[in-house]
Structure 1
Amino acid sequence: MGKSSIVFFERKFPSANMVLIKDELPILIDTGFGSDKEQTEQLIREAGVLPEELHLVVNTHYHSDHVGGNFYLQKKYGVKIAAHKWDADLINLGDTEACSAEWLDQPVEPYRVDRKLSDNDEIHTGNRTLKVLHTPGHTLGHISLYEPEERILICGDLFHKNDIGWLNIFREGIASIHQSIESLDRLATLRIEQAYSGHGPQIDDPLSSIDSARNRFDKWVKSPDKVSWHACKRIFAFTLIMKNGLAKEEINHYLLQCGWFQDFARYSFQLQPEEFIPILLDEMIRSGAASWHNNHLVALTPYKAPEKEWVNKNIKPKDWKPQDFLV
């Protein structure tokens, strides 16, 4: 293999990790949360690649923490964006379901997908070839990327070193559990020596992490309520990170306006949303996902809070305008 290297950026929430393929045609996989777009550019530059030299940005899936830097790179430098064709169609239509931004109340600045990817497509960087693997579960359009020569896997949020991505059963369907299992079974057939996921450290024993993830999904099949609890805690913790905590008096009003909270309360736990609020708060505290500080509920995972002004922009795909895509 010629002169080429892979640079892994492990990032704090709310941003997702990134992977930079330094080669004749540099590729960036995922771009972090929108409020960190300047840091995203800085990381690329410090790794020795100018943003305008990027041949392509590839998104593993369209959640806000993975695509937030797309707008900046596409608008300022004309960088092309690639994603699975199912994600691409929703994005390019400005569909209200795109990025789950409306449902999750997460801002995403407008971008367009230039290259629609399908299972088994290949992405060439000069000295490397990345194989696109459609690995649905976390989202329907989720992909992983496999580099066979060095046996490297980039797996997005399908699985992490010691965890798995939450499942959105109301947008991806209850079959997302079985889709995740099938995706993991497919990856388990590959020869993988190193893996990089969307959150957490690099994975030095990928097959062990895949086995652990599969065992957890198997338990979820038998106890579907675990899926809902995992998702609720992850989504609410992400909100607490974005907003750098919520004051006690703000929590009820905020939760009652959220689509995810309404859906999980009514359909997963068969409770009125008002009844579910104290139950969720108790579980957030019990599980160690959050704690009270000066009458504010704050997330306990390490994070870097976005500027309040950025979070309050309230940018959602339904409001994207055609002129937003001009470069």
Structure 2
Amino acid sequence: MSATVPRAASQSRLVRLGLDRSVLIAFACIVVLLAGGALYSREFLSPEYLLQQLQISAFLGVIASGAMLVILIGHIDLSIPWTVTLGAMMATAVAGWYGTPGEVLAIPVGILCGAIVGLVNGLGVAYLRLPSMIFTLGMNAVVQGLMVLHTGGSAPQDHATDAMHFLAVGRPVLGIPNALFMWILVGAGVIFLLNRTAFGRRVYAVGNRERAAYLSGVDTNAIIVGCFVLSGAAAAFAGVLLAGYSTKAYQAMGDSYLLPAIAAVVLGGTNVLGGRGNYLGTIAGVILITLLQSILAVMQMEEAGRQIIYGTVIIAMLLAYGRGDLHRK
């Protein structure tokens, strides 16, 4: 028994640092996609094209950052699509309603609205003990209804603020998109939270075995609520950035990000049952998903073909990781 515990602790440290097979597989697939894309088009490896892909990855990366925290505790957040839309619409609406003061408050209000959705999700899952898949799906429908009422069923007329546009598309430092810096900041925060704080250690503990964590003195409900709040805030912040990228908010702008965000986290090696995963893997998963989508778009493949290849690659990578890795608790 005494030899097993140190070995398990050592393996846990390696997993958190990203030194596991799933991360290596994900990065190997990225190299394969880059090589394949370069064979199809010489422009695929150009610095400008790669920066553009990283900029697009940043929006998905911010969403996946929050989604990963929820998956690590063994739950799932299906309210992401309309939380993204909520953050974008409320940020632009506040700017339109209140003029200059609204422009200052637009981004914080958008993120706060997402955090509120996450708070409701967390309370429902933690204290009412409702299945996260069902409860968050219901919240997604509620937020959708509220946004339809807010806009009258049409696209809102309020435009993104200059600050939102700057954070999403500005390139003041060496031509690197500001959106990428936003993802780096969010990612650094998640890495610090998971690896350097008591909250992070408790996230892994709850994900491994919630009852055991509770009996050891962990406030498991607080951890669950906190992860959902952070997921909602991250999704809303991504919505703010997307509104800045497209210069306005619009209906259902987050619908296309739910499956890619969850897929990126899982493809990066995070256990879908919780308790195991690292942010380096999520980074690899986000870049992998973005490159795959880009290659299929460049090849001008029909939507049906894209979905078939997209799903096949995800299934193949999950099989490559092995059922033992994905279901080990």
More strand as a share of residues: 1
TM-score past 0.5 threshold: no
Which structure exhibits the higher relative contact order, with contacts defined as CA atoms closer than 8 Å and separated by 6 or more residues? 2
Given the two structures, how large is their TM-score scaled by the length of structure 1? 0.23
Given the two structures, how large is their TM-score scaled by the length of structure 2? 0.23
